[in-house]
Amino acid sequence: MSHLQFLDAAPRFLFFTGKGGVGKTSLACACAITLAGAGTRVLLVSTDPASNVGQVFGLSIGNTITDVPAVPGLSALEIDPEQAAAAYRERIIAPVRGLLPDAELATITEQLSGSCTTEIASFNEFTTLLTDDDAALAGFDHVLFDTAPTGHTIRLLQLPGSWTEFLDDGKGDPSCLGPLSGLEKQRSMYAGAVAALADAARTRLVLVARAQRSTLAEIARTHAELAAIGLTTQHVVINGVLPRPDVDDPVAHAIYDREQRAIAELPRELQALPVDYIDLKPTNIVGLGALATLLHPTSTDQQLDEPAPAADVDAAPLSALIDELEPRGHGLIMCMGKGGVGKTTVAAAIAVALAGRGHQVHLTTTDPAAHLTHTLTGHLDNLTVSRIDPAEATEQYRRRVLATKGAHLDEQGRATLAEDLRSPCTEEVAVFQAFSRVINQSRRTFVVVDTAPTGHTLLLLDATGSYHREIARQMGEQTSFTTPMMRLQNPDETKVLLVTLAETTPRLEAEGLQQDLQRAGITPWAWVINNSLAAAHPTSPLLARRAAAELDEIAAITTTHDRVAVIPMLPAEPVGISALENLAASTPHVPTPIHL
């Protein structure tokens, strides 16, 4: 194995974070195996609401510490948000069950069913691990955290300080439907979590990226935001770097040149940090055999043992889906999926195409880590671009509540209300309201939404569902009303596109998301397979092998779903209006491969 600086004298806590799809889970798993192989006891923890750590190891893990039989010394834990929330609700409700009327218990249960409760419950699990509050953790030398995509991770790591400050200064009647019961007694644990995060001897942050401008810019922002809250011991890992091609393949050389330019232009704030590089592998990193190869250099093209089978896949243009979306002239179009699959790019391409056809289009994102302006890099008539920024939405919500509900309060009442609105849970309400306003716009124009990665999106939909149930309860069966959830459930008003890659993990996660949506009464309209190597027809042995590995994944989608687009891997990142127009064209331009 080549020398990797981020594993040198590894501290007790290692956090792996970065934009979705960069390989955090695979890297965290491979590092856990390496540390366990060195004779230490390791606990691998996933804090991602859409965790797939169990899938990587081929076993069911869940919300309890589980040994990995194939790796002596390694255990794993997935902080399941729903299980954590259910246990949290039960701890609050159990003492009063049998003492309160059933109707009152039902109201309390409903108040504890929002995404704010889920966040607090998951957070409590997380802080327990950081503070060694559980005797079961005493035997572990290292605790590795495979975190949610960047925006969610920053939120999680900021929470210990947010809750500590709220308990010290804010206290009062919370504005987030009542899930804060019992937080006061957690004060010492939260303070301990803050201390652990800020202690360089105990905690190291590993910023994971690909050799792409967007993911490198993302970890540069993460670096600054987390350094500001005390996490200063940081390392950079650039994962999946294509080795220099040894054959004359335009696709391979285009990718290699693009990656090398991104590495050469590493953001200034990252240049002072230790940087490690991990090569792209010929196969997906699933299973112990593949994980064992991740931290080792990749063989050159000539050293691959066998030629890859032909991967003959035709692109299915995104334009065909846009042709179906256009006739109604308005509606909500939501791009959903695992982080890193290209939701932002696909959403921007659809918006640009519809605007180019003369329609008024509002393109927005609910992803805390998304940057649509970077993807567009230009102005287009008929297109409005926005972002539901949690901090901005929360501040606007606070000002609005103080101006309305606070207008008739005395000075002490306004002060109490202001303290209540400082609760971190206020963000849930604020973001939901901003999302609802966007949904309402789709009645008269096209609204294209680039959603946050899967787990975060489900939390937002959970808040939408909670609001719907509360309105339905208040209004009764005899009253006509329409909630945001009802618009999402109406296939005439909302089209959900599941964006994925032709790889096992993103496909399985998209299928899981589809099942979650269907349980909520929302049926996905189409699937988009993005960045397909098979559709780009590379001839480099390494890329050809990865292309061949896509065939089964593409077939699993196209044989199950009627409406599918397959977008080929393009030689340049689709950034800018013209590149997005090309992506949405009937035949996106791909260089013709030279067969040797």
Nearest Cα neighbor of 378 from 579, 568, 151 is 579
Give dist(CA 529, CA 440) in Å, integer.
29
- Residue holding tokens 């792209």? 280
In the predicted structure, residue 184 carries a pLDDT above the cut 60: no
Same domain for 332 and 289: no
In DSSP terms, 450 is beta-bridged to 335, 365
Is the per-residue pLDDT at 567 higher than 80? yes
> Does residue 347 have a pLDDT over 90?
yes
Q: How far apart are CA 396 and CA 385, in angstroms?
A: 19
pLDDT at 238: 95
* Burial profile 188-198: b = 16 or more Cβ within 10 angstroms, e = fewer: ebbbbbbebbb
Task: Tell me the pLDDT band of 382, cut-offs 50, 70 and 90.
Answer: very high
Q: How large is the average pLDDT for residues 253-279?
A: 91
pLDDT (0 to 100) of residue 148: 67
Contact 513, 336 (CB under 8 A): yes
Mean residue pLDDT of the chain comes to 78
CA angle 416, 422, 425 (to 5 degrees): 120
Tokens of 315: 């692109």
State the DSSP code for 170: I
Is residue 428's pLDDT more than 70?
no
Q: Is residue 113 part of a domain?
A: yes
Residues 122 and 236 in one domain: yes
Give the lowest-confidence range in 213-222, 292-301, 319-328, 332-341.
292-301
C-alpha distance across the termini of the chain, in Å = 32
> How confident is the model over 99-120, as a mean pLDDT?
70
Identify the pLDDT of residue 206: 92
Least confident of 25-29, 53-57, 317-321, 337-341: 53-57
Residue 337 is given by DSSP the state -
Q: How confident is the model at residue 319 (pLDDT cuts 50, 70, 90)?
A: very high
pLDDT-derived band at 25 (thresholds 50, 70, 90) equals confident
Residue 513 is predicted with a pLDDT of: 82
Number of H helices, E strands in the chain: 23, 15
Lowest mean pLDDT among 299-313, 362-376, 563-577: 299-313
Outline where DSSP puts E strands in 306-347.
331-336
Q: Is the dihedral of CA 362, 354, 338, 86 positive or negative?
A: positive
54 three-state secondary structure: helix
Residues 485-506, mean pLDDT to the nearest whole number: 86
Query: Residue 176 belongs to what domain range?
Result: 5-296
253 in the same domain as 349:
no
* Tokens, residue 595: 């067969």
Residue with tokens 């932002």: 344
Which ranges in 38-77 belong to alpha helices (H)? 53-57
Checking if the pLDDT of 364 tops 50, the result is yes
Predicted local confidence at residue 427, as pLDDT? 67
Distance of CA 42 to the CA centre of its chain: 25
pLDDT (0 to 100) of residue 588: 57
Say yes or no: 217 and 138 in one domain.
yes
Mean pLDDT of 315-325: 89
Is 429 a domain residue?
no
Extract the tokens encoding 582.
């090309």
Residues 501-511, mean pLDDT to the nearest whole number: 85
Distance, in Å, from the CA atom of 587 to the CA atom of 589, rounded to the nearest integer, reads 6
Rounded average pLDDT over 463-484: 52
Q: What is the helix (H) or strand (E) element at residue 144, kind and residue range?
A: strand 142-146
**Is 277 among the domain residues?**
yes
Instruction: Decide: 546 and 552 in contact? Cβ < 8 Å.
Output: no
Q: For the residues 28-33, what does the mean pLDDT come to?
A: 91
Confidence check: pLDDT of 389 > 90: no
Instruction: Please check whether residue 406 lies inside any domain of the structure.
Output: no
More confident site: 51 or 63: 63
Phi, psi of 344 (to 5 degrees): -60, -45
531, part of any domain: yes
For residue 266, give both structure tokens: 């590493």
Nearest residue to 285 via CA among 23, 102, 15, 72? 23
Render the burial of 447-477: b for 16+ CB within 10 Å, e for the rest.
bbbbbbbbbbbbbbbbbbbbbbebbeeeeee
Q: What is the sign of the dihedral through the CA atoms of 488, 566, 214 and 46? A: positive
Name the pTM for this structure: 0.71
Whether 367 and 278 share a structural domain = no
Average pLDDT on 141-162 reads: 67
The pLDDT of residue 168 is: 58
Residue 535 domain-assigned (yes or no): yes
Closest residue by Cα to residue 531 from 498, 557, 499, 570: 570
Q: Which residues have CB under 8 Å from 395's CB, separation 6+?
A: none
Decide if 203 is inside a domain: yes
Q: What is the pLDDT of residue 225?
A: 81
Q: Among the ranges 377-381, 559-563, 574-578, which has the highest mean pLDDT value?
A: 559-563
Does residue 103 share a domain with residue 216? yes
Together in a domain, 250 and 330:
no
Residues 276-291, mean pLDDT to the nearest whole number: 82
> How does residue 438 score in pLDDT terms, banded at 50, 70 and 90?
confident
pLDDT tops 80 at residue 350: yes
Tell me which residues are annotated as active site: 21, 23-26, 48, 505
Same domain? For 11 and 157 the reply is: yes
Q: Which residue has the higher pLDDT, 573 or 463?
A: 573
Total domains in the chain come to 2
3-state secondary structure of 357: coil
Same domain, 262 and 292: yes
| Same structural domain, 368 and 236 | no
Query: Could you say which of 296, 327, 356 is where a domain stops?
Result: 296
Give residue 179's pLDDT band: very low, low, confident or very high (50, 70, 90). very low
Which token pair is 415? 């002060």
> Which tokens hold the place of 360?
């008024």
pLDDT classification of 301: cutoffs 50, 70, 90: very low
Strand positions, DSSP E, 314-393 = 331-336, 361-365, 383-385
Cα gap 231→208, rounded to integer Å: 15
Residue 498 forms part of a structural domain: yes
Alpha-helical runs (H) found in 48-186: 53-57, 81-93, 102-111, 115-130, 150-165
d(CA 130, CA 127): 5
> In which band, very low, low, confident or very high, does the pLDDT at 410 lie, cut at 50, 70 and 90?
confident
Q: Of 296, 326, 358, which residue sits at a domain end? A: 296
Q: What is the pLDDT of residues 32-53, one digit of tens each?
A: 999 998 999 999 988 765 566 7
Distance (Å, whole) CA 448 – CA 584 = 14
Q: Are residues 235 and 368 in the same domain?
A: no
With H, G, I as helix, E, B as strand and everything else as coil, classify residue 267. Answer: coil
| pLDDT bucket at 433, cuts 50 / 70 / 90 | confident
Q: What is the pLDDT of residues 196-224, one digit of tens each?
A: 777 778 889 899 999 988 889 888 988 88
Closest C-alpha to 46, from 29, 23, 71 = 29
What's the one-letter identity of residue 60?
S
Q: Which residue has the higher pLDDT, 580 or 169?
A: 580
194 close to 203: Cβ distance less than 8 angstroms: no
Same domain, 287 and 354: no
Query: Any idea what the CATH number is for the domain that residue 190 is in?
Result: 3.40.50.300
pLDDT score at 40:
94
Q: In this predicted structure, what is the pLDDT of residue 489?
A: 82
**What pLDDT, on a 0 to 100 scale, did the predictor assign at position 248?**
84
**pLDDT tens string 226-237:** 888 777 888 999
Counting residues of the chain whose pLDDT is more than 70, the rounded percentage is 74
Q: With 50 as the cut, is the pLDDT of residue 390 above it? A: yes
Q: Which helix (H) or strand (E) holds 208?
A: strand 203-210
Domain end: 265, 296, 327, which one? 296
- pLDDT for position 496: 92
Q: Put the strands of the sheet holding 13-17 in their side by side order.
A: 66-67, 74-78, 42-46, 142-146, 13-17, 203-210, 234-241, 275-279
Q: What span, in angstroms and rounded, lies between the C-alpha atoms of 503 and 371?
A: 25
Residue 362 and residue 438 in contact, taking contact as beta carbons nearer than 8 Å: yes
The DSSP annotation for 436-480 comes to: HHHHHHTTTSEEEEEPPPHHHHHHHHHHHHHHHHHHHHHH-TTS-
How far is Cα of residue 18 from the mean position of the Cα atoms in its chain?
9
Asked whether the beta carbons of 499 and 343 are under 8 A apart, the reply is: yes
Q: Is the pLDDT of residue 498 over 90?
A: yes
pLDDT of residue 408: 80
